[in-house]
Structure 1
């Protein structure tokens, strides 16, 4: 794949792949009946990934801002990060093995778009592995204590923050780019086949 199309480098999906997004602009999606079912679930999952990522960043910012940790600080971070990573892994498996092949057969002009999104998934799964490892290491170093953080605990939070801050933007870009391909396709096909997806 061209380097310019890689996640984190590209600014958006190529214009020639957005022909359905032009017919179905983002601001009209939620009002269309064709969104019911698969499209609604897709957007709900993506909204959840954005919300839980924001929550993780807020928790980290709060720890860094106060310089204090509570007994549940580490476990709460671990639960939220685990939920994000598990959700992404499951969501991408269903996309890769079920939805993307169906969508490519339904609209062959978008095969290249799904190849780009598949490449994104590989990059995101590498990021998932990295974040899982960083989380385990940082939470072990943070421990379960209450009060002012030690220098080692602050470094543990800073190390985790660096990984989250690097991964969050690429995840956000992928979610938005994927929506620009998938949701218009669902809306377009739903006019012909209400059971599509």
Structure 2
């Protein structure tokens, strides 16, 4: 009899704790203007800070395009989209270690997009870590004997009319690749 009461009380406590956690999580993740800082009420219990897509949903894709010249400084190749593809399937919900590289590149391209939209000084942008990361991804996509490369970040708005679908974000200068380090110091 006593063990039934203990089990019932433990079950009620667990359900109550879970319900409290869910309600606190929902309250913690409301838009910032309504957000209450619940940390002072949780006694150190961590609440997840999920933002998903709100309040600023993504409406564009960022693409990385590159072109290169031959070692003798010949004509530039046409722009090529070298944005890494991301595999989508049911298994990726559970296990997707291959998403880290493309996500890091995407985050770097987003940072460069923010810098560009805020009219950051181009010299400062070229010395930034995101610029170096995008340069490295671009370098990996061009021929080993390329003389120089240039990359372009392009916003693509899939739902926009065709004449407004693409908007350039940032175009690098021509970066020479003649150094032993593969042009790393030339990129910043």
Superposed pair shares fold, TM > 0.5: no
Pick the TM interval, shorter chain.
under 0.3
Please identify which structure carries the higher strand content: 2
Of structures 1 and 2, the larger Rg is shown by: 2
Please identify which structure carries the higher helix content: 1
**TM-score where L is the length of structure 2:** 0.28
